[in-house]
A and B are shown apart, each in its own frame.
Chain A
Amino acid sequence: MQRREVLKLIASSPLVFYAPRLFAADAPERWDRVLVLIELAGGNDGLNTVIPYADPNYKRLRPRLAVPRDEVLKLDERLGLNPALEPMMDAWNADDLAIALGVGYTDPNRSHFRSIAIWDTASDSDEVLSRGWLERQFAQYGPPSGFIADGLIIGGNAGPLFGSEARVVQMRDPTRFVQTANRMRTMDPVNSDNPALAHVLRTRELLTEAARRLEPYLDVRDRETDRRPGRGGRGGRLGRDLDVTARLIEANAPVAAIKLSHGGFDTHAGQAGRHRQLLTQLGEQLGAFRKRMIDSGQWDRVMVMTYSEFGRRAAENGSGGTDHGTAAPHFVMGGKVKAGLYGQQPSLTSLDNNDLRFTTDFRDLYVNALEWWDVPASERVITGRSLQMLS
C-alpha cells in the first residue's frame, strides 16, 4: 500500500502521466502490459473446444455431437482444436497460443451463478468472497493512480473486477463515453454513509476522472485507427468489443486490464450449430485482434485469457446438447506467451459422477497474469502454482 501511495504522488504530476519506464529502475512491475480477459459466459463445452480426438471414448460419449476426427485441427497426437477455431492455428503455429487443460477446482459447483462467483472471486468452492480477484489485486497492489482506471469493463458484468476499492469503469464506446461525460453536470466530490448513494457518487467520480484522462488518447485514435477490420458485423458483440479494446491499446491508453464477455455457451439443446457459431466468432475475432496487435507493434504487451464458469457434462444429453459440467480448457494468447499444452487432459474413463475430474486449479491459470505484471509474490492476492506460460 505504501508503494502505491508513492506512485500516486509521482503520477499526480501530469508530465509523468503514463511512463512506467520512469520508475522502472526501482519498480519491478510492468503496468504497461494489458490483460484482456474474455468470459465465455454460460459454460463452454471444453470437450468440443480442445478435442481428445484420438480417444475412442470421446465418440462413445458424444454419438451426435462428436466432431469427426478428420476435421479436428491437430495440436498433437491426442488433442486438437474444433475446426471453427481455425484462425487460432496461426497463433499456435507462431508460438503465441498456450492452452491450459482441465481447468477447474475441487468440489465443483454446477450452478452458473455460484460457479462464476467462485471463478470471479478466486475463492474455494465452499468459501464466499464478495470482491473479484483482480479488483482485490489492484486495490492491494495495482497500476499507478494516473491510469484511466485500473480495469475497464467493455462487455458483461464486472466479474473479476467487482468491488469498490480498485478503480473500475464500465463503458461501451470510448468516444461516446467521453462525449456524454463532458456534458454531465459537474459536482464536488462527496461521499456518503448510505451504500447505495456512495455507489452512485463513487461511480460518478470515477467516470468523470476516467473520461478526463481518456480524452487525450481519443484524438490519436480518431486520426489513425478509424475503420479497422473486426468492427461489428459478423463478429457480433465480441467483434465490436474487441475493436474497442484494440483501439484503446493502439492508442496506448493506460489501463491494466480489459474485461469482455462472449455469451451464449449454455448449450443444453441443439448444441452443434450454436456452439460452432460461437467458436467461429471467437476464433475469427481473436485471430483478427491478434493480427491488429502485431501490425501495430502492441502484441508483446498484450495477454488474452479466457475463462468460463464450468465445462459441460462428458456425455451429451437427449436434446443434442450438454448439461452443466466441470473442468474445461482455457486459452492464453500473446506476443510473450510460450505456446503449448499445459497440464493434463482429464480422463474420459475416470469420471466423477459422470463429470471430468479437473487437473489444473483455475488459480494456477490466473497467477500467470500476475507474473505478467511482475507483481511480487508477497503482494499477490491469490496463490497458485504458475503454469509458466511466459517466454
Chain B
Amino acid sequence: MAPPRVNTDVEARLRLKPIMSSTAPIPADVLEIRHLAARSGLGPRPEEIEVLAKGSYEKAVKTLLKSTKTRADVSPPGWIDEPVAPPRQMRQMSQATRQQLMRKRRQHGMELKAWWYQEMLTTDSPLTERMTLFWHNHFTSDMRKVRMPQLLYRQNVLLREQAFGNFGDLLHAILKDPAMLVYLDNVTNFAGNPNENLARELMELFTLGEGNYNEHDVKAAARALSGRSIDRQTMAYRFYPRRHDATTKRILGSTGRFDGDDLADILLEQPHTARFITEKLWREFISPVPDDAEVNRLAAVFRDEKYEIKPLLIEMFTSDAFLDPVNRGTLVKSPVELLVGTLRIAGNREVDGERLARAGMVLGQDIFNPPNVKGWPGGNAWITANTLLAREELLSRFTRGRPMPSLATKDTVDSYGYAKVRAWLLPLEPVDPPAEEGPLPAYAAALMQDPVYQLK
C-alpha cells in the first residue's frame, strides 16, 4: 500500500496514541479486554466490557467462545417454510401473477435482512454474528441472483450452525448448499458440458487463493462438481448421477474418479487452504497487514486442530499481535459494526430492522447482497467520500437525544469520569477532543462524531 501523502500545508501530523492506562484511570488488562470486546463484537456496550473485565483476559476469551450460538434467537419470518416456486413453474404464470411473486420476494428479501439485523441488535453473543457475517462474506451468495429468499435463509442457518464448528465440514456442506449452487451456476454443470463458475471461485476465493492452482485444475474441478444441483420441487440439494462426470480427473497432482466430496478433501489437504483462511481472519480481527511468520504459525495450529475453528480463534485472540497496542485503531468498522454497534452502545434495541438494512445499503454493506463473489473488500475501502458523509450523517442522527441508559444512570461525573467514557468508546485518543463538561451521554455523543470512532 502506498504511504499516505504528507500534507505539506499542515505542520500538525498527528501521532494518535492508543488509550493507555497512563492516560486513563483504567488498568492495562481491562483496556485489553475492551480491545477484545471491540474487535470480536458489536459496539461493545460498556456493560459488556464491565462484565468481561471481572476476570482475567484469558477468562474473557474463554467466556466469549463458550457463549457462542448455533441458531438465532429472533424468530425468522413466517414464510421461510413456504414452498419455493420453481423457475419452471414461474414461466407458466401469467404476467400479473409473476409480478406479484416478484414483489413478494422483494418484500421477503427485506424481511430477511431485517431479521438478521434484529438478531445482531439484541444478541448476547455478538461474536456469533461477526463470525456468521464473516462466513457470509467468504462463502458469498446474493439475493440478486439467487432470488429465492428461502434459500438465502437456509444458507444463513448453515453458516450459523457451522460458524464455530469445523471448516472442513462447512466446506463440504456449502458445496451442497442450494443458494450456493444457484449463485455460482453449478445447477447447470453437466458432464461433457461443464460450467466452471463454482469450481474456479472455490479454488480462488474459498480455499487456496489466487495463484495456487492452474487452469487445468479449474477445468477438472468443474467436472468433479458436475451433477450437483437442486431438486426442482423442493429446491433442496440433489445429486443427479447421470449429469455427473465420473471419469478420471487430475486435480492438484492427485488422480482419480473424483466427485465433489473428494475435491473438497483434496483442497483441505493443501496447506494453502489453512493459510488463506487464517490470513483472512487476521484481517478481520487483528490488523490490515498480516505478519507472514505469525500467519504460518496460526495456520499450522488450524491444520493440527483438523480445521476446528474455535481453537484457531482462541490462539488468535491471545496472540501477541492481537494485543499489541500498535494494532489498536488500525481497522475500519464495517457498516454493520458501526450501525449495530452504535445502537447497542446507545442502548436502543427497538430500531426497525428494515431501516437498518436500508442504512447499511447506503453505507455500502447490503447484507445478503455482497457486491460480487469476493464479498465486501473491507478495510479502508469502507471509507469513500460518499460513505464517510453518510456515516457522519447517520451518527449524528443516531446519537442526537439518545438517553444512553448505561451512562445516564451514572449519577455523577466523578464516580465514572470522562476518561472512562473515552476509553470505552474509542480505540485511540480523539482527533478533536470535546470539552470535558456536561452530562456523560452528551460527551459520549460528541466522541462518536470523532473520526477515531470510525475505527476499532
Contacts and interface: CB of A to CB of B under 8 A. Distances in A.
B210 A114 contact: yes
Contacts of B210: 109, 111, 113-114
Contacts of B388: 200, 203-204, 207
B389 A180 contact: yes
A188 B387 CA distance: 20
B386 A172 contact: yes
Contacts of A42: 372
Given A153-B384, A319-B188, A195 B389 contact: no
B14 A192 contact: yes
A188 B374 contact: no
B428 A197 contact: yes
A165 B373 CA distance: 29
Contact of B385 (A109, A203, A317): A203
A131 B393 CA distance: 30
Given A113-B210, A114-B210, A189 B196 contact: no
A131 to B, nearest CB: 6
Contacts of B332: 196, 199-200
Contacts of B9: 189
Interface residues of A, number: 59
Given A196-B332, A196-B380, A164 B5 contact: yes
Nearest to B451: A200
Interface in B381-401: 381, 383-390, 392-393
A353 B215 contact: yes
Contact of B452 (A131, A153, A197): A197
A200 B62 CA distance: 34
A266 B373 CA distance: 11
B288 A321 contact: no
B330 interface: yes
Contacts of B231: none
B306 to A, nearest CB: 29
A16 interface: no
Given A191-B10, A195-B288, A268 B2 contact: no
A106 interface: no
Contacts, number: 173
Nearest to B374: A113
Nearest to A267: B185
Name the residue in A153, A184, A188, A269 with the highest tally of chain B Cβ atoms < 10 Å from its Cβ: A269
A12 B204 CA distance: 48
Contacts of B383: 199-200, 203
B14 A191 contact: yes
Given A172-B386, A204-B451, A324 B380 contact: no
Q: Is the interface of B mostly helix, strand, loop or mixed?
A: loop
Contact of B13 (A187, A193, A200, A210): A193
Contacts of A319: 185, 188-190, 193, 195
A112 interface: yes
Contacts of A202: 4-5, 7
Given A165-B5, A319-B195, A191 B13 contact: yes
B196 A317 contact: yes
Name the residue in B1, B2, B10, B204 with the highest tally of chain A Cβ atoms < 10 Å from its Cβ: B2
A318 B194 CA distance: 6
Contacts of B390: 180
Contacts of A321: 185, 188, 195
Given A191-B7, A197-B428, A170 B386 contact: yes
B397 to A, nearest CB: 11
Contacts of B6: 191
Interface string A162-189: 0111000111100001001101110111
A207 B388 CA distance: 9
A323 interface: yes
A299 to B, nearest CB: 28
Contacts of A164: 2-5
Contacts of B196: 268, 317, 323-324
B242 interface: no
B16 A194 contact: yes
A89 interface: no
A210 B288 contact: no
A196 to B, nearest CB: 5
A206 interface: yes
B91 to A, nearest CB: 12
Contacts of A183: 393
Given A112-B374, A170-B387, 18 more contacts: A42-B372, A113-B374, A114-B210, A170-B385, A184-B389, A188-B10, A191-B6, A192-B4, A194-B16, A195-B330, A195-B380, A196-B329, A202-B7, A268-B196, A318-B190, A318-B195, A319-B190, A321-B195
Q: Give the 3 A-B residue pairs with the shortest CB-CB distance, closest first.
A: A318-B193, A319-B188, A207-B385
